[in-house]
Amino acid sequence: MLKTRLTEMLGIKHPIIQAGMGPFSNNNLCVAAANAGVLGLLSTSGLFNKNDQPWVYNSFCDTGEANRDDDMATVLETVLKRTHRLVKDKGGVFGPNVMVSAELKDKANVMIETAIKAREENPEMKNTLKVMYTSAGDPMGWGEKIKKAGFTWIHIVPSVRAAQRCKKAGVDVIVASGHEGGFHTHWEPLHSMVLFPAVAEAVADENTLVVGGGGISDGKTLAASLALGCDGVLMGTRFLATQESDFPPLWKQSVLDAADRGTLVARGYVGPARWLRNARSEEHARNTLQKSPGVFLGTPDSYTAMEGGMSLIDYENESIKAAYEGNKEKAMMAAGEVAQRISNMPKVDDLVNEIMKEAMAVLKSVQKFVVE
């Protein structure tokens, strides 16, 4: 068993966070992860897609035992209460992943206030719904509401500069997300081996924890992250390919089938995105080079302001719909670089136990290199 500041702060058994992986439903995965002793995160941005991506929205509602016709706040409240009911007996800990970009400020407020209301009306939920995880936006301005309500606040960043802004905002746990990560990557290709220690050196102290994400899939990479100064790790793709994962069967199998150099970067809805390599995603990359070259130049651009930019998003939506329908020819699936290292689809509890066993063995083995 590994004891870190993250396990102590959150009351979880293992120093692992299961990524939110929005906008796709992961309601059942979150339950399984929390019950396995890691922090489970609920994706919530699928709630924005009722009209433009109903296949994502419907999956979110159905796996969360929510009514598709309810408003956004009611659906989220239903999912939060369901998750609490299914994890409380095992002491599971979870929280929602809320996108806080300027364009989504109103929706983010609804989601945060819904979580606060759920805890206030159900005091027992304070033992399980402990975390508010924010992403895809500036942390400034959110701290008072989140921390006043008693949540541990986690925010994800791609750089030291962004991490320093998190510290200024009062974030409790800063996730440093390397370019190896799946789907939402970043404009600057800063990788985990450099990013983790840089962020830890810049912001970690007695009040601020750092978690590493991007390229993490097993005990070896967990141990390496701890050695680089992290208090724990964030894992997405490895949890995607599990039996309890809510992702479509084609998506999960495609992760297992990924080979060496099995991913690429092309345009995504919120910027650069990492996709599993296939004929469809290679075509998307070529189109991205023509219509959104900033993805490859590290220069942020807006698809709404570019000629033909919206066609990239339409292509993405069509491809994700195909993944849900099991249409392999037209499907495009997001995943991290670690996909090429994943070859099985275990139960979440078995996966976590194997990761922890390996991590402890690695940490013990490296002691042999130390000579007094």
Q: How far apart are CA 121 and CA 114, in angstroms?
A: 11
* pTM for the whole structure: 0.95
pLDDT for residue 87 = 97
Q: How far apart are CA 31 and CA 44, in angstroms?
A: 14
**Best CA proximity match to 74, nearest among 40, 41, 113:** 113
Q: What are the backbone angles phi and psi of residue 8, rounded to the nearest 5°? A: -70, -40
SS3 298: coil
pLDDT for residue 124 = 95
pLDDT for residue 116 = 96
Q: How far apart are CA 143 and CA 153, in angstroms?
A: 8
> Domain extents for the chain?
5-247+344-369, 259-334
**Best CA proximity match to 141, nearest among 110, 168, 113:** 168
pLDDT for residue 112 = 95
Domain 5-247+344-369 grouped into CATH 3.20.20.70: yes
pLDDT for residue 48 = 85
pLDDT for residue 307 = 72
In this prediction, the residues of the chain whose per-residue pLDDT falls under 50 are: none
**Best CA proximity match to 113, nearest among 82, 72, 84:** 72
Q: How far apart are CA 44 and CA 135, in angstroms?
A: 11
pLDDT for residue 359 = 97
Q: What are the backbone angles phi and psi of residue 342, rounded to the nearest 5°? A: -105, 125
